[in-house]
Structure 1
């Protein structure tokens, strides 16, 4: 149980509960700005506490997340990709997280086939994350849904399966918990996103908003929206600023109803 794991490894530092042992977190987004928008404060909070944090993008958002670049004369996919890669790496450096780039392409849509799912599973075995963050699997946005479902239902199970990945260089690894961050603007109610986990990012809110600035030369500036989301989540959870998640739960069998989940 992830809460049992957390309970055994937490302490209180200056009024803030922190994990006593160093853990690893992997956050996976379909496009470069997806994770910073929805979980940037959480990742920086973990990184500042001394934990090992990885942030991955499955594409460079070359067609779906680069609206402003495509308004420039003579723009091509080949020109967009290095610009977006640079933004992602600079944001990762600012956030003090380790970047991972997968050039899977988002044109016309992101597709995670078996080969790519195996590559992601191998990455999970190599990094050995205790926690994974990714997209809400019921979102209506094709790329986000493909990313979330592929991580939860393909990559994570394969990483744990000793019979999968025949040519793997690493031992199987079972992720302890997966948390799904919120869907794209306008899709909260339509996709039944009802969060059950809030992370207090009050001390990292300003840094999160600074991190998002790396992306506004390529896409529409929606910082006011995410500032509003952080305030609203804070209101819901009785802190100043927060980010929201749903824990992904697979089928589990017990003798009796568990008292901690």
Structure 2
């Protein structure tokens, strides 16, 4: 494919790092232009460490969160990161904000998209972001929306791993070997200084998914020796010519 692109819709400015940083780095290394859309900075609900500092303000939190995300994006090889600054806890988009995302989808024309699990009772911003991803994907496919623009095809939407999978109804059907780019993902993780408590957790997740990759690729009878992997759940059927 001539123009290889991908789009990640991240509810907060750190989500893309923990949940699909390996996929981003791997595809960037393979020539994809990966765009990340951060719908919010996570400034209210996901910045507890920053808020514990004396004299902290909302604007300062946003500034620090943005800097962390930009540094992480650079470490992963992101082609473009955009901050919509729509607020969090709760995340809520009006019609104009949705159309801004549609404009981005049509501009990027992604080969695939990524967002959160469909259900997340611990953080409704996450599942709302995926609702938005599905709605704006649909609008971007509509020939009657801004006629004359190039409409979107049918990119797969991959749902990346939530924090407690057993509570979310998330069932991975794809494991991606991120061993070659693990150090890039770890470097991006360490950019997120406001959520240092998650560094070890998501390192463990990547190691466990590496184990699952090895098992599902053949185990001790020829499975690939992956050290780290990421899991995803696909939303739409995948059209193939052979299995």
TM-score (norm 2): 0.88
Q: Does 1:144 align with 2:138?
A: no
Distance 1:260 1:149 in 2: 31
CA deviation vs aligned residue, 1:202-227 (integer Å, no higher than 9, x gap): 111121111111112x2243111111
More helix by share: 2
Q: Does 1:178 align with 2:157?
A: yes
Aligned to 1:221, what secondary structure does the other structure show?
Answer: helix
Runs of 4 or more, structure 1, over 6 Å off, are none
Give how far 1:259 is off: 7.1
TM-aligned CA distance change 1:78 to 1:169, over 3 Å: farther
Structure 2 residue aligned with 1:4: none
Are the aligned partners of 2:75 and 2:185 in contact in 1 as well (CA < 8 Å)? no
CA RMSD of aligned residues (A): 2.1
Structure 1 residues without counterparts, runs of 5 or longer: 1-8, 10-20
Q: Which of the residues 212, 221, 238 maps onto 1:236? A: 212
Give how far 1:22 is off: 4.4
Task: Give the total of aligned pairs.
Answer: 230
Distance 2:187 2:241 in 1: 40
Distance 1:232 1:43 in 2: 19
TM-aligned CA distance change 1:171 to 1:22, over 3 Å: closer
Structure 2 residues without counterparts, runs of 5 or longer: 215-225
TM-aligned CA distance change 1:86 to 1:226, over 3 Å: same
Aligned to 2:166, what secondary structure does the other structure show?
Answer: coil
Distance 1:212 1:191 in 2: 23
Q: Which of the residues 136, 151, 160 maps onto 2:141? A: 160
Structure 2 residue aligned with 1:248: 235
